[in-house]
Each structure stands twice: as C-alpha cells, then as structure tokens.
Amino acid sequence: MNCRDVERSLIEHEKSGAARLPPQVQKHVLTCNRCAEFMRALNPSVMADAPTPEILRRLEDTLTTGLRPVRPLAPACYFYAAFAVIFILIVAAGVYRLGASGISVMSPLQSIAILCALSASAGLLVYSLVHQMAPGSQHRISSTVLPAAVIGLLAVLMAGLFQFQPERDFWGTGLACLRAGGPFALLAAAPFWLLLRRGAGLSPRVTGAAAGLLTGLVTTSAQEIYCPIVDVSHILTWHLGVAVLGASIGLAAGFAGETAGRRLKPAQR
C-alpha cells in the first residue's frame, strides 16, 4: 500500500461510513510520516469552536417557547401522485375544451415522440421539485441544470421533428394559440403552488424556475394536442415559448421571494 492508496481508502471509508479504517491503512499510517501528518492536519479539534452557553440557552429558549407539534411532510410518493394527477387532469381539460386536431395532423412518429418527450420532461421536473421540498434529499439530477436542459432538449427535438412551413399570419395565429392554451397554465399554477408551499424551498429561484416550467409545460402539452399548425417556428415560439415564459416568471418570483425574505430578516431581528 502506498500514499495514494491511503487517499483512495480514505474516500472509500467515508463512503461506507464505517467506524474503523482498514488495518492495512492503519499500518501504513503508522510507518509513513507524510500520511500521519496528512491525517493529523485533517483533524479538527472539537472544543475550540464550541458555542457559548449563553447562545445555546438563548436558542433553546427561542425554540422551546410556543413549541407546537407539526405534521411531517407526506411521503414523496404522495407528492409525485398529486403533481401527476394535476398535470394530467388539466391537460385533459384542455383537450376536452379545445379538441385534439393537432394529433390528427401529426404523423404517428411525431405524436409519440413529442408526447413522450413532454411527459418525460414533466416527470423529471416533478421528481426534482419533490426532492427540493425536503432538504437533504438525494438528488440524481442537478436541480439547477434541469430546467435549462429540459428546455434545450425539447427545442432540439421539436426542431428535428417539425419542418419550417411559412405561415400567412404568424403573430395572429400565434396569439390565438396562446389565448387558447394560456389559461390552462394559470389553472395549473394554483394547485402546484399549494403543493409546493408545504416544502422548505431552500432555493426559491431554482424551485420557482422548475415549478414555472412545469406549469408552462401544461399549456405546451395541451397546445401540442390541440394546435393543427405544425410549423417549427410556430411550435418553438408559441408552444415551447409558453414553457420558457413560465420558467422565467417562476425564476423572477423566486428571486423576488428571496430578496423579500432577506429584507425581512434584519427587520425581524
């Protein structure tokens, strides 16, 4: 065993959380001055930074005063189900209200690809949001990168699936499409917010962007099923654009919430 192996075993040991280092590592450290010094350097003394008894007492008093029982956050599966039900119900309401002429215009490959991509995107966003609600949850996908990645991948997929077909009235048809689908995003925003407000939301900006994008995707999904225009510029601007707008509004709301929270804190003290 050499010094590099000690570093590697140290990381493996931290991964396992075991109480003792492997015997061969202990043996090496006893004979190697450099490794012994390295281990000593990484040994923080505990008592040097102990908080003062007054601070501890003050904290205890603050936390104990008016202490009331709280209901723990429901298991993650309930939130997954709630988000999924809301998403599906509102998209279904959109299809019921507007029709499904978009599906009849698209080829089977286009329909399957776009609906699968939208479902997968919504699923990933729900997964990320549910994990953001409880601090210290296990993250397999970076919640910061996810909204941008979802928008980027959907844009690439849409650009690849649909072709450019010049429209006679780009703005007119686009605004009509937006007016038809937009209310469904507003309809989804309220229940999503009600679900999310139970969580901690440690990073309101990231949570806001993901929630806004999910809300926007409700409209995008309804529009994809309803809208008979398969021009790529129309789809990117008026369908995916709603999702981007939702993410931007969510990000701005999170930013405003964070700033308001920061201003409020000194006043509370």
Partner 1 sequence: MIKESGAAHTQRNLSPGGLNQEIVSASVTPEGTPANSPAMAPTQQESAVAPPPSTAALDRWMARYQQADPEAPAALIGALSPALLRFFRTQDLMSREQADDLLQETWLRIHRVRHTYRPGQPVLPWVYAIARRVRVDGYRRTRRIRAHEIATDMLPEPRPRFENRNSLPAFETLVAVLPEAQREVVTMLKAAGLSLEEVARATSCTVGAVKQKASRAYERLRRLLQEETNELP
Size of the site for partner 1 (CB under 8 A): 67
SS3 of 32, please? coil
Which of 37-45, 112-120, 158-166, 212-220 is the region at the interface with partner 1 (rule: CB under 8 A)? 37-45
Q: Considering only residues 5, 38, 103, 248, which one is a binding residue for partner 1 as defined by CB under 8 A?
A: 38
Q: Considering only residues 33, 109, 166, 168, which one is a binding residue for partner 1 as defined by CB under 8 A?
A: 33
Site string for partner 1, 130-159 (x = CB under 8 A): ---xxxxxxxx-xx----------------
Q: Exposure pattern of 150-171 as b/e (b: 16+ CB <10 Å)? A: bbeebbebbeebbeeeeeeeee
Closest to 220 measured CA to CA, from 165, 173, 154: 154
Taking the complex as a whole, the smallest distance from the CB of residue 5 to partner 1 amounts, in Å, to 12
201 Ramachandran zone, left/alpha/beta (phi>0; psi -120 to 50): left
What stretches of the chain show up as alpha helix (H) in DSSP?
3-16, 23-31, 33-41, 53-64, 76-98, 101-105, 108-133, 146-161, 170-196, 204-226, 232-234, 240-268
Looking at the Cβ atoms of 1 and 113, the one nearer to partner 1 is 1
Closest to 160 measured CA to CA, from 148, 152, 170: 152
Is there binding between residue 75 and partner 1 (CB under 8 A)?
Answer: yes
Site string for partner 1, 156-185 (x = CB under 8 A): ------------------------------
Is there binding between residue 32 and partner 1 (CB under 8 A)?
Answer: no
Is there binding between residue 81 and partner 1 (CB under 8 A)?
Answer: no
Is there binding between residue 262 and partner 1 (CB under 8 A)?
Answer: yes
Q: Cα-flanking dihedrals φ and ψ of residue 163, to 5°?
A: -115, 160
Taking the complex as a whole, the smallest distance from the CB of residue 119 to partner 1 amounts, in Å, to 23
Helices (H) and strands (E) in the chain, counts: 12, 0
Token pair recorded at residue 140: 């397999």
Which of 60-68, 148-156, 175-183, 185-193 is the region at the interface with partner 1 (rule: CB under 8 A)? 60-68
Is there binding between residue 109 and partner 1 (CB under 8 A)?
Answer: no
Is there binding between residue 211 and partner 1 (CB under 8 A)?
Answer: no
- Whether the CB-CB separation of 224 and 116 falls below 8 Å is answered with no
Is there binding between residue 40 and partner 1 (CB under 8 A)?
Answer: yes
- Whether the CB-CB separation of 87 and 95 falls below 8 Å is answered with no
What stretches of 141-239 show up as alpha helix (H) in DSSP?
146-161, 170-196, 204-226, 232-234
The site for partner 1 (CB under 8 A) is made up of 3, 7-8, 10-11, 13-17, 19-21, 26, 29-30, 33-34, 36-47, 49-52, 55-56, 58-60, 62-64, 67-73, 75, 133-140, 142-143, 198-200, 202-203, 262, 265
